[in-house]
Amino acid sequence: MNIVTAGNLLNDVWIMTKNSGRISASKTPSNVDKYTSLSTYQIFPADKRFIKFKIKACTDAFVLLSAAKNLLSPNFYEICIGGRSNKVIFLRIRRNGSKVREEHYFDAPGLLNCSEHKTLTVEWEVSGRITLTAETGIFMNWTDTSPIHIQGVGLMTGWGSDGMWIVEHSSLFTGYFCDVTGSFGNMTLLSTIQDISVIRCSSECALSDHCLGINFHHKTKECQFVASEQPVVKSAAHDWNFYTKCLKEKTMCLGCIV
């Protein structure tokens, strides 16, 4: 997962989902635990009743709209984007743990792409209307006459497909950094400075529009400025500390929640 900064504003959250296999929560409700819950990252799309994202996947990208923030509810909508070899969208509904599921499908040939991010928006209204819109128009439009009250949103890819999601989100950097002792951000760097204090190093990063965080070696005083707009990749490294920016005070700390 990578959180991207633009000035002191968080714009996007990058989330990689690995292939979860030939599964569906609508068929086996316990499979909701295969989803990545956005609440883990202090992101709550239900507050605005929509989620806008870019997704790069060959097929079968799933969005779960759940009645629980942590997704552990028997009531949910499961949207499969790029089903049947990237030909359709499936909208599946579970209510109260019933063994009977509802299913609706919508033609959407070639909506996903293996090598290019596609921008999509999923919206749900109090009236029960659920839509999925792409850059070329609305691909799914359905209204539930007994709507589920959505509290949480999850992401998953399956049926042989990995996915890279860029979830639109806005939040301010509040000046806090999170550090992971004995860890190194094995990522693209902006620059390196020698013989500098950790306070000055983090202060320089805080002022940069393009700095995600820092690698700091406490013995040599080497400071490495880590670039934004890339997935967070950490590795163990003695005498190094990996610091990343936090948002929402200290509740959304970049490197520490990955």
Q: Which domains does the chain have, with CATH numbers?
A: 19-161 (2.60.120.200), 173-257 (3.50.4.10)
pLDDT of 147 over the 60 cut: yes
Q: What is the pLDDT of residue 254?
A: 65
Q: What is the pLDDT of residue 10?
A: 56
Instruction: Point out the least confidently predicted range of 106-120, 127-141, 203-217.
Output: 203-217
| Residue 101 vs residue 67, higher pLDDT | 67
Span 232-242, mean pLDDT?
91
pLDDT band at 34 (very low <50, low <70, confident <90, very high): very high
Span 127-136, mean pLDDT?
97
- Percent of the chain, pLDDT > 70? 92
Is there a contact between 176 and 249 (Cβ–Cβ < 8 Å)?
Answer: yes
Instruction: Point out the least confidently predicted range of 35-39, 93-97, 155-159, 189-193.
Output: 93-97
pLDDT band at 11 (very low <50, low <70, confident <90, very high): low
Please state, in angstroms and as integers, the Cα–Cα distance from residue 61 to each residue in 55, 95, 113, 171, following that order: 8, 22, 11, 26
**What is the chain's mean pLDDT, rounded?**
90
Residue whose C-alpha is closest to residue 117's, from 71, 58, 62: 58
pLDDT of 151 over the 50 cut: yes
pLDDT band at 98 (very low <50, low <70, confident <90, very high): confident
Span 195-202, mean pLDDT?
95
Q: What is the pLDDT of residue 4?
A: 39
Question: Which conformational region is residue 128 in: left (phi greater than 0), alpha (psi within -120 to 50 degrees), or beta?
Answer: left
Please state, in angstroms and rounded to a whole number, the distance separating the CA atoms of residues 30 and 27. Answer: 9
pTM of the full predicted structure? 0.84
Terminus-to-terminus CA distance in the chain, angstroms?
6
